Amino acid sequence: MQNRREMLSRSAQVAAMLVAVGLVPGWAQAQAAGYNSAAFAAKTLPELMKSLGAGAPAESKDVSVTGPDIAENGAVVPIGAATALPGVKRLLILVEKNPAMLAAIFDVTDAIEANLSTRVKMGQSSDVYAVAMMNDGKVLFARKEVKVTLGGCGG
Amino acid sequence: MADPMRIRAQVAGDKATVRVLMAHEMETGQRKDAAGKTIPAWHIQDVTAQHNGKTVMTAQWGPAVSKNPFLQFNVKGAKVGDKITVSWVDNKGEKRSDEATVS
């Protein structure tokens, strides 16, 4: 049997829990609408795919990644991701040996070609991936090794 | 407010090639300053590209994108005189939006 005082303190606890559960996600959303910080913290490919809610990726010839064979400066490595397949939802650029794999997510629409270029930082020589997430749930990728020479260790 | 972006949009056949150069530090949060303290991450998180007011692409970026980021994409069916707007928001909430005309 609960007395009135206990009831009051319980409901205060419940209210505090509701605030904690309800407001913290709201605050995170307000900071950057839809920014997937879990994906940008992922260190391995399976971890990353899980955080994006995607299945295991398959290597495909229809996706291409462009970049230099040898990058002189790891701070500025031009990388392109492209695919000729229709129905692309997202393109990702990943650098395998960076502290966090994911460099960029591009949500493309039909109004642009699935062919994007940007520049990324690379901590060391590593494989670079272009991942295409399709509308039908398939995840396809291509990879390329990029050697980084800057660092004074002779690459 | 941050420095303006440089946007160039040129027609090539039935599409327009848009090249954007943004001015941003893109600090990774991995580096340390002279006193050994970690420099906090400061990078662009969200990028939006619009063609005549219609969003054609959005992007989420991590700190691995280079300093003063470069971005290139092709907009299908863009004609001379069309407006291309690119905007970004960084993890400190700073924003910048710039517009260019397709030539």
Residue B32 has what DSSP assignment?
A: B
| Token output for A26 | 């709201």
Distance CA B73, CA B12 (A): 12
pLDDT confidence of residue A17 = 56
Q: What is the pTM (predicted TM-score) of this model?
A: 0.78
Q: Is the pLDDT of residue A6 over 70?
A: no
H or E element in which residue A31 lies: helix A4-31
A119: nearest CB among B46, B70, B76: B70
Q: Is the pLDDT of residue A1 over 90?
A: no
Distance CA A110, CA A119 (A): 23
Chain B CB contacts of A106 below 8 Å: 57-59
pLDDT, one tens digit per residue, over A73-85 is: 888 899 999 988 8
CA distance B12 to chain A (A): 13
Q: What is the ipTM of this complex?
A: 0.87
SS3 of A104-144: the string is EEEEECCCECCEEEEEECCCCCEEEEEEEEECCCCEEEEEE
Q: Is the pLDDT of residue A47 over 90?
A: no
Distance CA A58, CA A75 (A): 29
More confident residue, B40 or B72: B72
Q: Is the pLDDT of residue B20 over 90?
A: yes
Would you call B83 an interface residue with chain A, using a CB distance cutoff of 8 Å? no
pLDDT confidence of residue A155 = 36
User: What are the backbone angles phi and psi of residue B6, rounded to the nearest 5°?
Assistant: -105, 120
| Burial state string for B74-91 with b = 16 or more CB within 10 A and e = fewer than 16 | bbeebeeebebbbbbbbb
Residue of chain A whose alpha carbon sits nearest to that of B26: A121
H or E element in which residue B54 lies: strand B54-61
Q: Is the pLDDT of residue A111 over 60?
A: yes
Average pLDDT (B51-56) is 91
* Segment 1-40 of chain B within 8 Å of chain A by CB: 15, 26, 28, 30
Chain A CB contacts of B62 below 8 Å: 40, 100, 102-104
CA distance B46 to chain A (A): 7
Query: Average pLDDT, whole number, for chain A?
Result: 79
pLDDT, one tens digit per residue, over A16-34 is: 555 554 444 433 333 445 7
